[in-house]
């Protein structure tokens, strides 16, 4: 079973909306309560999708996302479901079904991750297992459990990272999980293509989220470095990623599958 158990937090709000590019679609966003996932959930909600906001611990943050989607005329519900232990995927979908009894889903965004790790010399086996359990095993089994509920023409979007292209040995295990996720994307795209389901990775560079707050918001030299590596001369924002995810989720991206889409603002070109 999932580590912290799985608890529904918030009931559906507002009435059905079918307006917008994603009107009538149902989306699941893991890690949808903060950072990049929050921006994705809110953007998909603005596009008309009914959004399941999955998260691990921060009830208030998830409730805030649901509130904001509702305030913008959308519809959302929160699912507390910590990923990273056996049975996590089944527990998440069981919670999803309590809000959506028909169980159907159109868009799965695998965004939740442990966004850090140690270098090879100091990494423990436990740390290795945990980062792979959350970043690779959870998306793998979330999708497998969803194969019967994912509607034809659907979307799977895996949030990867620029670190599969740009070497950072100090976070080698984390980077390796994203490489695995991209390989998952490639194979899944071939398997699900006949059903009109596209599968893509979206790979951000440095984004100003909580995970980077400690250095990005307090160390001016490090912040200047982060700006300098982007061809576009600034640090990324969660919305920079969410807007690309919204495109990939839309019908406009129907002919794009099995790809890793770089959203690093041209970092280290």
In the set 6, 164, 175, 212, which binds ligand NAP (CB under 6 A)? 212
| Residue 48 engages ligand NAP in binding (rule: CB under 6 A) | no
191 C-beta neighbours (distance < 10 Å), count = 11
In the set 113, 146, 150, 189, which binds ligand NAP (CB under 6 A)? 113
26, β-bridge pairs: 50
Q: Contacts with ligand NAP in 58-77 (CB under 6 A)? A: 58, 61
Q: What torsion do the CA atoms of 164, 178, 132, 198 make, to the nearest 10 degrees?
A: -160
| Residue 106 engages ligand NAP in binding (rule: CB under 6 A) | no
158, β-bridge pairs: 110, 201
In the set 204, 240, 242, 257, which binds ligand NAP (CB under 6 A)? 204
Q: How far is the CB of 207 from ligand NAP (least distance, A)?
A: 4
- CB-count exposure of residue 21 (10 Å: 0-12, 13-18, 19+): middle
Catalytic positions are 160-161, 174, 178
Q: How far is the CB of 28 from ligand NAP (least distance, A)?
A: 12
Distances (CA, A) of 24 to 6, 21, 45, 146: 26, 9, 11, 18
The residue count for binding ligand NAP (CB under 6 A) is 29
Q: How far is the CB of 189 from ligand NAP (least distance, A)?
A: 19
Q: DSSP letter at 137?
A: I
In the set 84, 139, 154, 265, which binds ligand NAP (CB under 6 A)? 84
Q: DSSP letter at 147?
A: T
Bridge-based pairing of strands 198-204 and 150-159 is parallel
| Residue 123 engages ligand NAP in binding (rule: CB under 6 A) | no
* Residue-wise burial string across 110-122, b where 16 or more C-beta atoms lie within 10 A, e elsewhere: bbbbbbebbeeee
| Residue 83 engages ligand NAP in binding (rule: CB under 6 A) | yes
In the set 36, 143, 226, 260, which binds ligand NAP (CB under 6 A)? 36
Task: Say if CB 117 and CB 173 are below 8 A apart.
Answer: yes
| Residue 105 engages ligand NAP in binding (rule: CB under 6 A) | no
Chain positions contacting ligand NAP, by CB under 6 A = 30-31, 33-37, 55-58, 61, 82-84, 111-113, 115, 134, 159, 161, 204, 206-207, 209-212
């Amino acid at each position: 079973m999932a580590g912290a158990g799985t608890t529904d937090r918030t009931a559906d709000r507002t009435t059905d909306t079918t307006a917008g590019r994603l009107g009538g679609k149902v989306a699941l966003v893991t890690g949808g309560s903060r950072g990049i996932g929050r921006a994705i959930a809110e953007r998909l909600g603005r596009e008309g999708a009914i959004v399941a906001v999955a998260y691990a611990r921060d009830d208030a943050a998830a409730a805030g996302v649901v509130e904001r989607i509702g305030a913008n005329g959308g519809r959302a519900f929160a699912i507390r479901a910590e990923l990273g232990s056996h049975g996590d995927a089944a527990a998440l979908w069981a919670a999803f079904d309590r809000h959506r009894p028909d169980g159907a889903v159109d868009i799965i965004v695998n965004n939740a991750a442990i966004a850090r790790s140690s270098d090879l010399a100091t990494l423990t086996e436990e740390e290795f297992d945990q980062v792979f359990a959350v970043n690779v095993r959870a998306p793998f089994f979330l999708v497998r459990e969803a194969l019967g509920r994912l509607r034809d023409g659907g979307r799977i979007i895996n949030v990867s990272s620029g670190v599969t292209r740009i070497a950072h040995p100090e976070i080698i295990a984390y980077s390796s999980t994203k490489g695995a996720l991209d390989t998952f994307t490639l194979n899944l795209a071939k398997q699900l293509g006949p059903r009109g389901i596209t599968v893509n990775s979206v790979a951000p560079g440095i984004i100003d989220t909580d995970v980077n707050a400690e250095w990005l918001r307090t160390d001016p030299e490090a912040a200047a470095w982060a700006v300098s590596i982007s061809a576009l001369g600034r640090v990324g924002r969660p919305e920079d990623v969410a807007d690309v995810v919204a495109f990939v989720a839309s019908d406009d991206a129907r002919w794009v599958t099995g790809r890793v889409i770089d959203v690093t603002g041209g970092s280290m070109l």
